[in-house]
Amino acid sequence: MEAYFQTLAEYVALALEAMSILIVATGGVEATWHLLRRQLRGGITHGIRREAWLSMARWLLVGLEFMLAADVVRTAISPDWQAIGELAAIAVIRTFLNYFLERDLEAASRLSEAT
């Protein structure tokens, strides 16, 4: 029975990782399209680059959450200490990334509301 759950967990983790890749790729395509469209209309300014970066950051946040979920699922079925340590390190790194991206997004939101 445990082997069945391990196999199921691997498929679920793989699906979550695939979704995270698609999410990040979608964000990259959207940001690139935004920049190319603006370039054709008259040039890229700092504000335009900032908008593209903010758009990409939002997609990255969602992608990071899916990646972390995949790591949790992969480690959930009979983990060993090495897998738990790897998950902890990955979770800390991704949490810091999420924190700083969220902070930047909130600062940009406050800035755009003020102007």
Q: 18-68, pLDDT tens digit by residue? A: 999 999 999 999 999 888 888 778 776 767 778 888 888 889 989 988 998
Higher pLDDT, 82 or 2: 82
C-alpha 23/C-alpha 8 separation (Å) is 23
* pLDDT (tens digit per residue) in 66-103: 998 998 898 887 678 888 888 888 888 888 888 888 88
Q: Which residue has the tokens 């995949």?
A: 70
pLDDT band at 12 (very low <50, low <70, confident <90, very high): very high
Q: Which domain holds residue 36?
A: 2-114
For residue 14, the model assigns a pLDDT of 95
Q: What does pTM read for this prediction?
A: 0.78
For residue 36, the model assigns a pLDDT of 86
Does pLDDT of 17 surpass 70? yes
Domains in the chain, number: 1
For residue 115, the model assigns a pLDDT of 67
As a whole-number percent, the residues of the chain with pLDDT over 70 amount to: 97
> 63 in the Ramachandran plot: left (φ > 0), alpha (ψ -120 to 50) or beta?
alpha
Closest Cα partner for 71 from 22, 25, 24, 16? 16
C-alpha 74/C-alpha 68 separation (Å) is 10
